[in-house]
Structure 1
Amino acid sequence: MMVLAVLLALVATLDPSHGLVNDRPSSPSRLNYQVQDTPNHHRMDSSLEYESPRDSDATGLPSSRRSLLNGLAQVAMASVALSQPKAAMAVDFQVPGMSKGPNNKRVGGLANKIKNSCSIMDELQRDLMQERWDRVEAYPAQLRSYVPVFTAYTDSAFPSDAPTDKGLRVALRYEVGRFFASVERFKQATNRRALDEAYVAFADMSLHLDRYLRVGGLYTYYDDTITLEPYYKGISESALVYADPVKDPPEVRDLVILVKGPEKGRTGIVIGIYRDGSNRTAVKLDRYKGMREIRVVPSLWVAKRLGEQDPDDVFLIKS
């Protein structure tokens, strides 16, 4: 609208009736603006026209001045037309063969329930490591109540017949099956008060739940870092304070640091040690953006942290 006001004011100053324009310009040439309409947009072209200052029509105005006034009027009309708001066009883009993913309210509610199972696992870790068997015995039944939740989320989040959705459903159902099989083994170990077996079963439960969260798109972040080892090039091993993993290997409940591998330098707590000859250790990494990743790595990659350390955050959960 400001453009329109300026143009109208300019037209008024060019009107001879106001006596503000000299009928005989001092220059023999004049710049003539013309507005051209095309089917799709307005375009204003400028050209220099050399004409006699005496050329005029019956209106008494020189032809060049008349053209200029007409051009300004058309520009004003075009400005008004272009200033009208137009609805934005939204493009609904989707990769062929892929579903849009979980985007409805029902799936959102199921996702929150599944994430709540992570809180239950944290409380179970606390009670198990404190050997509070009276409380530990109640967790298997509580976790088994989530079977329909996992099933409903798997079918609702990836419902199409696209190959990607089919593959994801198969992968998620596999992790759910392994998770609840581990819950059953945990229940049996709890009944026998077999602590080491319970730790291994708990580690398997944690691992398969973590994989379900990843495959199901329930992680709160995506980390595309391939390896952290380059960050430690040129840094002496003595700069990382930890116990020798050969002479003083960590046990369950120990706070540890990964000293080798692609995630060197990350910290966590040991939740299980596999004594089946594989020499592997399950580590629950420290919380990051609300999530605690599970890693099963060679035991020699895991070393106890030395010095005063804050306790694992599961022990800060109020009973």
Structure 2
Amino acid sequence: MSMIHIPVQILSNASEFERYIHDCALSLRHQDGVGDKYQMTVNVAVYEPVSAGTADRLKALAIEGFAVNLIELYRTCGYGEKQNLIWNNYTKKLAVPFEAFITMNPDMVLMPDVVDKLHTTFTTSRSRANIVEARQFPIENPPRAFDAATLEVNWCSGACILLSAAFFERCKGFDEAIYLYCEDVDLSWRAWLDGGQCLYRYDAVVAHMTHGLFEARYNTHSVPTHESCMALSHLILTWKYFSADEALLASKMKLFWDNQGFARHTKEAAFADFETIKPRIQRYTTAHPRIELLDLGLYSGMRPNLI
């Protein structure tokens, strides 16, 4: 019996590449069934120059059933657009066919059973699962409410997800109007509108090296950048999914302006940026019970962290 081919897309800047990429790729190579049940092709795309030494260490991880490709993607664009470029120019052109692929952050170390659990969930769903998400340790991002029996969740965090290749191609990938943050929320909502499911495999655990216990040592992220991108992405989702109903749109915009967690000047700057890109945002008139916007950055009911 031939092996199941699962491509992986990882997007990395230079700092992430030096800090994380070897351990991330090594954890993929050590997944249960690699070289026996699974054949993996890992496409690592960098958009900044990286050291030859770390690149060589990454390439040296290749073994039978585990291929590693280093892609130079020097283009100024958002996360979703970069992932789409990897998909269109490399992953979907792979000679070996596949039904699902993984996109994930470089700052991830997977437990050995993650890929098998994600793919098994995908196959047993009988093509209903468009996205299957792994659980982040030590802090889920964020701890969303999900159905423990069906594994259904309102949206999947893109830190480590397995995607239906057919769905991703059908929906033309990530929305490139979203520069950073919430591209996973948007993709999840389109997965529901497509008639599929978003599932949360809470026992498929990945260590996210810039969260929780690892924060002080590893995280160099800028809070102002985070807030600016989050505010803009929130406005895009608001317009995209709730603008068909004027009263509903007004109520969702009120949530944005009333939110006290983001500075007023940050929201005003985001709104100005939003006005410039609004004409190219696709709007939906179809409602779905899984699509909800409860506050700025809150797209699902919350629950206590599992850990």
Report the TM-score range of the alignment, normalised by the length of the smaller protein: under 0.3
**TM-score normalised according to structure 2 size:** 0.25
Bigger share in helix? 1
Bigger share in strand? 2
**TM-score normalised according to structure 1 size:** 0.25
**Higher RCO (Cα < 8 Å, 6 or more apart):** 2
The structure with the larger Rg is 1
